[in-house]
Amino acid sequence: NAFPVCVAGQNQHVTVYVNDTQLTTHDWTNCDAWDETLTIPAALVRAGANSIRIEASYALQAGGGQVKDETRPLSVGFSALQVQPVTP
């Protein structure tokens, strides 16, 4: 489950990459959680280390009351993020 740092008048957008290849995108038009199961095609997985990168359209310092005492720029949070093999 992913959720955006919500800012009035701005819609968050994320792009998910696997080994530098775009897997999917998601646009938020509200602050609802994105509850999605993504399947990584076998062709994108290589022997050894693999990378999953999630890029957001913006990140802001959340000190405006959304997250108390937080000073890092925030974009998207995750309440669950799991990677596991698909069983045939």
For residues 34 and 19, what is the distance between their CA atoms, to the nearest angstrom? 22
pLDDT digits over 42-79, tens only? 999 999 999 999 999 999 876 555 556 777 888 999 99
pTM of the predicted model as reported, rounded to 2 decimal places:
0.83
Residue with tokens 């008048």: 9
For residues 24 and 33, what is the distance between their CA atoms, to the nearest angstrom? 16
For residues 5 and 72, what is the distance between their CA atoms, to the nearest angstrom? 12
Percent of the chain with pLDDT strictly greater than 90: 60
Give which of 4, 6, 2, 3 is closest to 64, Cα–Cα: 6
